[in-house]
A and B are shown apart, each in its own frame.
Chain A
Amino acid sequence: SQQGEEDPQALSIQEGENATMNCSYKTSINNLQWYRQNSGRGLVHLILIRSNEREKHSGRLRVTLDTSKKSSSLLITASRAADTASYFCATLFGGSNYKLTFGKGTLLTVNP
């Protein structure tokens, strides 16, 4: 499967701590995106990083991409209880079929 895989499956931290989630994938990509989902709701786009980029920042979010290892990480700094959600990586593969493929997600719980 081309699906990205997030690690860990679940993460529980205290408010104010940093949270790091990882995503690994199997084939070459054009870009990788991170989405957030509050319980049972629609996914919301957080950040996109292209295959020729190594790092991007957006507010308290920092994403890195290592194409040689086929992996990405999402760092949320100074976490808040409101960051509690599931986080998914999604990869866009090239070729004749442009398709965004999602991983199974990391459930982040931030305890007040």
Chain B
Amino acid sequence: QSTLTQPPSASGSPGQSVTISCTGTSSDVGAYNFVSWYQQRPGKAPKIIIYHVSKRPSGVPNRFSGSKSGNTASLTVSGLQAEDEADYYCSSYAGSNIIYVFGTGTKVTVL
């Protein structure tokens, strides 16, 4: 079971920006523009905040943005707020065999 690599943790003060990387391979992140990002608060289900690399679902603040270069995708949270403290997971479509792979997860702390 292949997984995408994320840093275990990231942090920033309120109002600052934090960027989380998500490194995959040429078979998943690098092959498709179908990277999504999920926010998971403690004891809650994940919630999609970015899909198709950089699109935001309705209701997600524009403080959240996504991008991709080669085999690495990134999530940037600008203007950090206390409510952004959560675990963040990336995911990529990986083709007709595995379908989706998830990242290892990053815990974001607002200092």
Asked if A and B bind, the verdict is no
Q: Report which B residues bind A (CB closer than 8 A).
A: none
Residues of A within 8 A of B (CB): none
